[in-house]
Structure 1
Amino acid sequence: MRTLFKFLFVLLLVSVVGCGTSSIPKASPEQLAELENLVENKKIFFEAEWAMPLTTNSLNQISNAGLLPPGSTANQINLIGNNNFLKIDGDSVSAYLPYYGERQMGGVYNQSNAGIKFEGVPTDFEISKDDKKNTYSIKFDVNDRSEAFQVNMTLFPNMTASVNINSNERFSIRYQGKAKKAMQQ
């Protein structure tokens, strides 16, 4: 009887592990070429559809009070229809992203922009490719006035992207959205 239970357990374990779907979506050669072109030319325009802040007690209170956009929760805020961007154009970067979360310290008085805003030439700019997942990772640091940002962007073959931003003055936040070729201005 014990042997039968061991056999059934092993069989169940193998079927659960073996029947899982692949988490790596298949990408067409055209999608891969488009993504590679964006990254090689450093012409990337990211528009966030969702903000995913670090959920804190204060953010939960704001959510419970109904102060977040419709369809949003404390850990996932809908940004569709909200003008925002992160742009990589050659050797320069710029961003204007809404920020939901808590400041850890500081901040500038009389600042009309409470979002994440920067423009300039980044430092420690690094691009790496994950050949197994067909994704690109772009990391850089950039400063705006007294605030320093560490930006980590992951680009997927279906032209979606995930952007994580850490700051010396705010809790971290992640954005999900779409990437496309940055247009010349």
Structure 2
Amino acid sequence: MKAIIKLLIIAIFSSAVNITYAQNKKAEKKAKQEQAVKSQIDSTKYRFVAQWMNPLGGRQVFLTPANYYDIKIRKDSVIAYLPYFGRVYMNAPVAGEDGGIKFTSTKFDYKITPKKDRWQVTINFKDTRKARRLTMDVFKNGTATANIISDNRDPIYFQGNIDIKI
């Protein structure tokens, strides 16, 4: 009987140690990912990969193929290659390749504002008519949302991930 009680105590103790180890491992992994995302945003060298698009007044659209539509953010440039569905108020595209939100900007203001569970990145463009401002909410787990405001188009909202492997 004493042997069974000893084995039971050892089993409970082992289980508690394993659970604590697993929780610590998970917390470590989460902290590493959070640090990687934060360092990419601070370095201004990352890529937002859009997976969903929400046009103003429309329904959510899944973007395929994966890793095709993105915004590349560097210290000296922002390169956007995104689709657009919505109302265009003036200067409507004439040819098929003119549509979407496709531009390269080299003159912009970049600002990071820390929030409780995320970082808000605001980029104000000075040299493109395709977009006036890009506001991204980058969450600690690497997911992100991007809201693009233009002077001649309805705002559009994208959901996706930050690619930290660059």
Match 2:61 to one of 54, 77, 82? 77
* 2:36 match: secondary structure: helix
* Larger gyration radius, structure 1 or structure 2: 2
Map 1:18-57; keep pairs closer than 5 Å.
28-55=30-57
Is the CA contact (8 Å cut-off) linking 2:53 and 2:63 kept in structure 1? yes
Distance change (3 Å), C-alpha of 1:97 and 1:147: closer
Distance change (3 Å), C-alpha of 1:153 and 1:146: closer
1:111 Cα deviation after fit:
5.9
Once residues 34 and 54 of structure 1 are traced to their aligned partners in structure 2, the CA distance between those partners, rounded to angstroms, is 32
Distance change (3 Å), C-alpha of 1:51 and 1:182: same
Once residues 83 and 30 of structure 2 are traced to their aligned partners in structure 1, the CA distance between those partners, rounded to angstroms, is 33
The residue number in structure 1 matching 2:122 is: 139
The residue number in structure 1 matching 2:102 is: 117
* 1:140 match: secondary structure: strand
Distance change (3 Å), C-alpha of 1:145 and 1:45: closer
* 1:175 match: secondary structure: strand
Is the CA contact (8 Å cut-off) linking 1:153 and 1:161 kept in structure 2? yes
Matched, 1:129 2:117: no
Is the CA contact (8 Å cut-off) linking 1:52 and 1:75 kept in structure 2? yes
Indicate the RMSD between aligned Cα atoms, in angstroms: 2.2
Matched, 1:86 2:42: no
**What letter matches 1:150 in structure 2?**
R
- Normalization by structure 1: what TM-score? 0.67
Q: Work out the number of aligned pairs and report it.
A: 138
Distance change (3 Å), C-alpha of 1:147 and 1:48: closer
Unpaired runs of at least 5, structure 1: 1-25, 56-73
Distance change (3 Å), C-alpha of 1:176 and 1:113: same
* 1:28 match: secondary structure: helix
Tell me the percent identity. 30
Once residues 116 and 87 of structure 1 are traced to their aligned partners in structure 2, the CA distance between those partners, rounded to angstroms, is 13
Is the CA contact (8 Å cut-off) linking 1:48 and 1:79 kept in structure 2? yes
Is the CA contact (8 Å cut-off) linking 1:118 and 1:142 kept in structure 2? no
- Normalization by structure 2: what TM-score? 0.74
